[in-house]
Amino acid sequence: MAVDGVYMDVPVVRDFSKKFSQISETLTQVVKVLTALSNVLKATAFIGAVGGAAVAYFIDTVKPYIENVAEKCGEISQDLTASVDAFERGDELGAARFH
């Protein structure tokens, strides 16, 4: 059975957009906490707690990946919102983002 036209379940897609935005915000907060932890661990390593330096190194290694995922989730959220808005306007160019 062929379907003519394009269909989008707007509330579901808007909900996806909201969830990606929330994930982005949460991961951004995680990065801030990791930065603070890393700074504290580096300071304690400076005064002699060498194990803290290893943990700080691990945090500093993982943090860029979390920042990247947070950024990508924010971008996906914006893309989904723009796509829904374009769909509601009947704008075919708005769909080009996902081709």
Map out the domains of the chain as residue ranges: 10-98
pLDDT class for 14, splitting at 50, 70, 90? Answer: very high
Q: What is the mean pLDDT of residues 90-96?
A: 63
In degrees rounded to 5, what are phi and psi of residue 7? -125, 140
Say if residues 15 and 23 touch (Cβ distance below 8 Å).
no
Range 10-98 classified under CATH 3.90.700.10: no
- pLDDT band at 96; cut points 50, 70, 90: low
Instruction: Spell out the residues 6+ positions from residue 4 whose beta carbon is closer than 8 angstroms to its own.
Output: none
Whole-number pLDDT of residue 20: 97
Band the pLDDT of 7: cuts 50, 70, 90.
confident
